[in-house]
């Protein structure tokens, strides 16, 4: 680490005391602070139905992504073993709740899985018959994108064999079954919940009103908390609008810009603190200004949607832009080169190795 005055501790903050300027860690440690930047991210929201968590798989961490992979591959192995047609159909069904970027990208990825990666790996089942059902409560997919891009994603996923149900609300989730508001059901051995998020519960300990049901906080213009100028919030925990009065999205570029803004504020205040005894007064903190770099989502191989300012791209060009941006933000030249070569080899070979299950589920 280049910064000698930075210490990284692997701990989880469980309690905050804003008045006393103290944070408590899960390990039992106590951390006193002069400034606090709270950017703890979000967790999966089940809209007041926490019992659904036991029957679904989330996608907020790398560990959860590995669990999804493990569950789907294990279900295919079980389908290869069973002689019961009903069980085989259930094991070869994946239900995805949520038609935002996460749900759309997952649906496209699963079609790649069965049509490219696993097409020759099984003998007793036809992996192309893997049923992927995408459930969305609103009237279209990718609600944060333009209408034409939503329509493109819908058409593209249908061409890939994904069953899409828009305007469909989930009424209940039980083991292996999604119950819809219209009375119908979808039986699936893998149910993935990508329908909602909520802020880390730490926001409720800040002593300020929450901005929405997701538990986010509306900060001051400089990203500090009203009444606690030494506490800042950033990333998915902040509920604010940009210069055009549009909500700042919960995406990595926005969080990065917030982090840089807070660092700039703290650096300037530290400099002024050292010189104020020579007659220099503390200035007003600058306002955070968000620069919208756009949003994107991949829709299977060779297809994506990109929305950046006046640019609204779809198809292969958007897919290339998606690849370029993701490689660009990798840390280190070695990682960028390794990923680029790996992707190029997988693209040319068109049959990436996939049938690897680590830590088989119970």
> Which residues form the catalytic set?
105
Residues forming beta bridges with residue 187, ordered by sequence position: 177
Instruction: Please report the beta strands in 18-168, taking only residues with DSSP state E, as ranges in sequence order.
Output: 22-25, 30-32, 36-38, 42-44, 93-97, 131-135, 163-165
| Contact (Cβ atoms closer than 8 angstroms) between residue 351 and residue 117 | yes
180: which 2 tokens?
């819809």
Q: List Cβ neighbours of 354 (8 Å cut-off, separation of 6 or more).
A: 73, 113, 117, 118, 121
Size of the chain in residues: 362
Residue 171: its H or E element: strand 170-174
What is the rounded distance in angstroms from the CA atom of residue 292 to the CA atom of residue 290?
Answer: 6
What is the rounded distance in angstroms from the CA atom of residue 254 to the CA atom of residue 235?
Answer: 7
Q: Using alpha carbons only, what angle is made at residue 7 by residues 2 and 9, rounded to the nearest 5 degrees?
A: 130
| Contact (Cβ atoms closer than 8 angstroms) between residue 307 and residue 147 | no
Instruction: Please report the beta strands in 207-328, taking only residues with DSSP state E, as ranges in sequence order.
Output: 224-225, 228-233, 295-298, 304-308, 311-315
């Amino acid at each position: 680490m280049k910064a000698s005055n930075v210490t990284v501790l692997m701990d989880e903050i469980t309690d905050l005391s804003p008045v006393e300027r103290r944070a408590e860690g899960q390990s039992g440690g106590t951390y006193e602070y002069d400034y606090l930047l709270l950017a703890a991210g979000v967790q999966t929201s089940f809209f007041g139905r926490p019992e659904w968590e036991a029957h679904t798989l989330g996608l907020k961490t790398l560990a959860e992504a590995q669990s999804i992979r493990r569950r789907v591959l294990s279900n295919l192995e079980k389908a290869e073993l069973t002689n019961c047609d009903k069980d085989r159909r259930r094991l070869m069904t994946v239900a995805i709740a949520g038609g935002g970027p996460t749900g759309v990208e997952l649906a496209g990825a699963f079609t790649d899985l069965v049509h490219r990666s696993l097409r020759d790996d099984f003998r007793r089942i036809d992996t192309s018959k893997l049923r992927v059902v995408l459930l969305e409560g609103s009237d279209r997919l990718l609600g944060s994108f333009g209408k034409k891009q939503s329509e493109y994603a819908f058409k593209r996923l249908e061409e890939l064999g994904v069953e899409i149900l828009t305007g469909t609300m989930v009424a209940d989730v039980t083991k292996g079954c999604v119950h819809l508001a219209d009375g119908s059901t979808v039986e699936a051995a893998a149910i993935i919940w990508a329908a909602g998020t909520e802020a880390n519960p730490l926001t409720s300990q800040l002593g300020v009103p929450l901005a929405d049901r997701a538990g986010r906080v509306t900060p001051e213009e400089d990203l500090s908390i009203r009444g606690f100028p030494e506490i800042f919030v950033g990333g998915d925990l902040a509920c604010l609008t940009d210069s055009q009065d549009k909500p700042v999205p919960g995406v990595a570029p926005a969080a990065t810009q917030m982090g840089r803004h807070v660092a700039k504020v703290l650096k300037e205040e530290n400099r002024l603190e050292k010189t104020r005894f020579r007659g220099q007064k503390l200035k007003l903190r600058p306002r955070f200004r968000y620069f919208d770099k756009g949003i994107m989502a991949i829709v299977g191989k060779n297809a994506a949607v990109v929305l950046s300012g006046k640019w609204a791209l779809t198809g292969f060009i958007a897919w290339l832009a998606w690849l370029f941006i993701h490689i660009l933000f990798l840390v280190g030249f070695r990682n960028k080169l390794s990923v680029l070569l790996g992707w190029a080899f997988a693209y040319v070979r068109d049959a990436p190795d996939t049938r690897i299950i680590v830590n088989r589920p119970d």
